[in-house]
Amino acid sequence: MANETKQPLVQVKELCKYFHVSRTAELKAVDGVSFDIYKGETVSLVGESGCGKSTTGRCMIRLYEPTKGQVIYDGKDITKLSKEEQKAFCKKVQMIFQNPYASLNPRMTVKEIVGEGLKQHGMSREEVDKKVEALLETVGLNKDHMSRFPHEFSGGQRQRIGIARALSVDPEFIICDEPISALDVSIQAQVINMLKHLQETMGLTYLFIAHDLSVVKYISDRVVVMYLGTLVETAETEELYANPAHPYTKALLSAIPEADPKKAKANERIPIKGEIPSPINPKNCCRFAERCQYATDRCFSEMPKLREVAPGHMAACHLLDK
């Protein structure tokens, strides 16, 4: 996807989110992350659990206030919006949460859950009823479900309700925070196909947060790889899967299950040694150095900078200097 001449819809610039856990300890959940998202595309944010993916997404929708850096949406810094601009931003940007069991209010009916945002933006009761009915049909449910409560639905159906809620205010950009990780494998494909169909018919832009790289390959235009709060590699999907540059990305891709026994035998699994280091007061060096089999003294003393290894393909690794 050639986006060089286009203006990004979303720009994340040196985004940081730190949590003070004591007087001297600071947890750096997100530390200097930068990437762009263009209108109509899907950018996937991938990495191990605890690497800062969800925190990044929550900062981008202002569920968390960034410690440093900027999130620019449609040319405006989201932390400097007026009250009216903030209301408009809330309509344009929505989030689908990871856990469909925890993200829906158990005391509210489906009609109340999906229609809550519509009421906030001034729709009458009759208009809300019609819109909710149409939204439920869009996500594969029907009007008979409107009066039911979340506990009466399966996990897949609950996630569809969450998607209908996100779509209710006609957003342009949706942050999908691991929307299928809590679902059965058979349901995952249905939800992914529905998200792709909605994107094509409604012109949506997605940030897709995930750790399942086989799903990411199917849905993404570009991939951003995070490790322990930092960005280690970004590229268009085909380029990243064909020519991974960072040792961490190579290890992640080698772990993807292969259905063909011959290919599976030919693919060499790259092990990652040790445990993920603590994100509290991290050293100013490559965060992956302790687990990287190629690490040199420089890796333990200097933070690598993102550099271009191919057109549109960036990676942060000292080994690329050789």
- Does 282 map to a domain? yes
Residue 182 — very low, low, confident or very high, per pLDDT cuts 50/70/90? Answer: confident
**pLDDT(275) > 90:** no
Query: pLDDT digit string (tens) for 106-132?
Result: 999 999 999 988 887 777 888 889 999
302-309 average pLDDT score: 94
| Model pLDDT, residue 184 | 82
| Model pLDDT, residue 1 | 45
CA distance 222 to 45: 9
- Does 3 map to a domain? no
Residue 142 lies in domain = 10-321
Residue 268 — very low, low, confident or very high, per pLDDT cuts 50/70/90? Answer: confident
Which residues, at least 6 apart from 186, have a Cβ–Cβ distance to it below 8 Å?
none
213-237 average pLDDT score: 94
Question: What CATH number is associated with residue 77?
Answer: 3.40.50.300
- Does 1 map to a domain? no
Residue 176 — very low, low, confident or very high, per pLDDT cuts 50/70/90? Answer: very high
Q: How many domains does the chain have?
A: 1
| Model pLDDT, residue 125 | 86
CA distance 71 to 62: 9
Strand order in the sheet with 76-77: 26-37, 10-20, 68-73, 76-77
Query: What's the pTM value of the predicted model, to 2 decimals?
Result: 0.91
For the chain, percent of residues with pLDDT exceeding 90: 69
- Does 83 map to a domain? yes
Query: pLDDT digit string (tens) for 67-102?
Result: 999 999 999 999 999 999 998 998 999 999 988 888
312 φ/ψ sector (left φ>0, alpha ψ -120 to 50, else beta): left
Task: For the chain, give the mean pLDDT.
Answer: 90
Alpha helices by DSSP H, 41-171: 53-60, 83-92, 110-120, 125-138, 155-167
Buried b (16+ CB within 10 A) or exposed e, 250-268: ebbbeeeeeeeeeeeeeee
- Does 53 map to a domain? yes
Pairing state of beta strands 222-227 and 230-236? antiparallel
Largest CA distance in the chain: 67
